[in-house]
Amino acid sequence: MLIVMRSDARTEDVEKVIKVIEALGFRGHAMPGESRTAIGVTGNRGAIDPAHFENLSGVAEAIRVTKPYKLISRDLRPEKSIVKVGNATIGGSELAVIAGPCALENRDQVFATAKVVAESGAKFFRGGAFKPRTSPYAFQGLGIEGLQMLAEVRDQFGLNIVTEAMDEHGVDAVAKYADCVQIGARNMQNFSLLKYAGQIEKPVLLKRGLSATLDELLLAAEYIMAEGNYDVILCERGIRTFAQHARNTMDLSIIPAVHRLTHLPIIVDPSHGTGHNYMVTPLARAGVAVGADGLIIEVHPCPEEALCDGAQALTPGQYLDLVQQVTALHELVAEPAAIAAG
């Protein structure tokens, strides 16, 4: 159920509605919008009688929801969410660029890359300390030591840190050292992890699973939000298809679909999405042109020596050129006329 408050409803009215929801044994999620607040109700298995709410002060409407999702919905929050990550934001008018190496390898590599990322004007640094690897015998990451390096990068370069957590212990560690917890594609339906990430106070970057439908992606976000953490950023990173010329098939049509259904921002990952150095820049341009809120890009001072996914990493020069291209594109695409038409 969604409860839409009147535009003149007072804070006390909202609080009162939430108390009534809680008294019924459910949970209320207040989402302030530009002109009014909407309150999502979760925790109920069946329908709730709107009569509980319609005479409360400040309530405009109580709407029964038949869609499988509530909190991610544009019905609950018509305006796009702008998610604060450290001292910057994702989802607003600016294109978010998150860049860095696939895996953190050593201080030299990390700081050399961070220098390039800072120079490019990007506000976010990525780098894996805990690496989900298909083989148990592949490099699994530097762990806590890597997180500590990332914290140094933030201090030294003013970059906001995005890095992956693979389990509950990882979520705690990442939440301590970094600004945004990434949940990887292989964990998109690790529901226990989603619930855990819903209880922290850092934003979550949720990558689409390799064979996740749009609904499954949105419901994974809903898992996090139902626990009270509304700061979710989605990420398209390619899906698994029969096509073998790229490592994955980027499904850019999900960007307008996500923007239509939900208020959450969505970024694209052309590095994992293609797996080939020469495809990253063209697909980054395509991602910006289709309307994504940002990019996540792998860059490595020396891709041929990377311990992980070197084939898709950009050199510093390629990366700086990419940023220049997508910045120009984003200015063009973000003009009101273009947005209106999209």
Q: Which is nearer to a copy of itself, 265 or 291 (CB)?
A: 291
Selected range binding a copy of itself among 2-10, 65-73, 76-84, 142-150, rule: CB under 8 A: 65-73
Q: Does 172 bind a copy of itself (CB under 8 A)?
A: no
- Which of the stretches 49-57, 80-88, 236-244, 298-306 binds a copy of itself when contact is defined by CB under 8 A? 236-244
User: Least distance from C-beta 341 to a copy of itself, angstroms?
Assistant: 4
Interface mask toward a copy of itself for 269-308; x: CB under 8 A: ----xx-x-xx-xxx-xxxxxxx-----------------
**Site for a copy of itself contains 26 (CB under 8 A):** no
Q: Binding residues for a copy of itself, how many (CB under 8 A)?
A: 83
Q: Which stretch binds a copy of itself (CB under 8 A): 11-19, 67-75, 81-89, 113-121?
A: 67-75
Distances (CA, A) of 90 to 18, 230, 337: 29, 13, 21
Q: Give the three-class secondary structure for 302.
A: coil
Residue closer to a copy of itself by CB (options 15, 145) is 145
Q: Shortest Cβ distance from residue 109 to a copy of itself (Å)? A: 17
Distance CA 29, CA 8 (A): 19
What gap in Å lies between CA 324 and CA 176, rounded to an integer?
33
| 328 scored as a contact of a copy of itself (CB under 8 A) | yes
Q: What are phi and psi of 142, to 5 degrees?
A: -85, -10
Residues 243/234, Cβ–Cβ less than 8 Å:
no
| Segment interacting with a copy of itself (CB under 8 A) among 92-100, 118-126, 153-161, 215-223 | 215-223
Which of 35, 51, 135, 336 touches a copy of itself by CB under 8 A?
Answer: 135
When asked if residue 72 is in the footprint of a copy of itself (CB under 8 A), the reply is no
β pairing state of 96-100 and 88-90: unpaired
**Is position 103 an interface residue for a copy of itself (rule: CB under 8 A)?**
no
Residue 167 binds to a copy of itself (criterion: CB under 8 A) = yes
Count, in order, helices (H) and strands (E) of the chain.
11, 14
Q: How far apart are CA 252 and CA 8, in angstroms?
A: 40
Pick from 125, 126, 166, 159: nearest CA to 143: 166
Instruction: Give yes or no for residue 187 binding a copy of itself (CB under 8 A).
Output: yes
Q: What DSSP assignment string belongs to 220-254?
A: HHHHHHHTT---EEEEE--B--S--SSSSB--TTH
**Residue 302: how many CB atoms within 10 A of its CB?**
14
- Type of residue found at 37: T
In the complex, the smallest distance separating the C-beta of residue 108 from a copy of itself, rounded to whole angstroms, is 19
Strands 83-85 and 59-63: unpaired
**Dihedral sign from CA coordinates of 184, 188, 192, 197:** positive
User: How many angstroms separate the CA atoms of 37 and 26, rounded?
Assistant: 18
The verdict on 190 binding a copy of itself (CB under 8 A) reads yes
Q: How far is the CB of 3 from a copy of itself (least distance, A)?
A: 16
Which of these segments, 56-64, 90-98, 120-128, 133-141, binds a copy of itself (CB under 8 A)?
133-141
Kindly state whether residue 336 participates in binding a copy of itself, applying the rule CB under 8 A.
no
- Which range touches a copy of itself (CB under 8 A), out of 80-88, 98-106, 110-118, 207-215? 207-215
3-state secondary structure of 126: strand
State yes or no: residue 222 binds a copy of itself (CB under 8 A): yes
State the DSSP H helix or E strand holding residue 42, giving kind and residue range, or none if neither. strand 37-42
- The answer to whether residue 133 forms part of the interface with a copy of itself (CB under 8 A) is yes
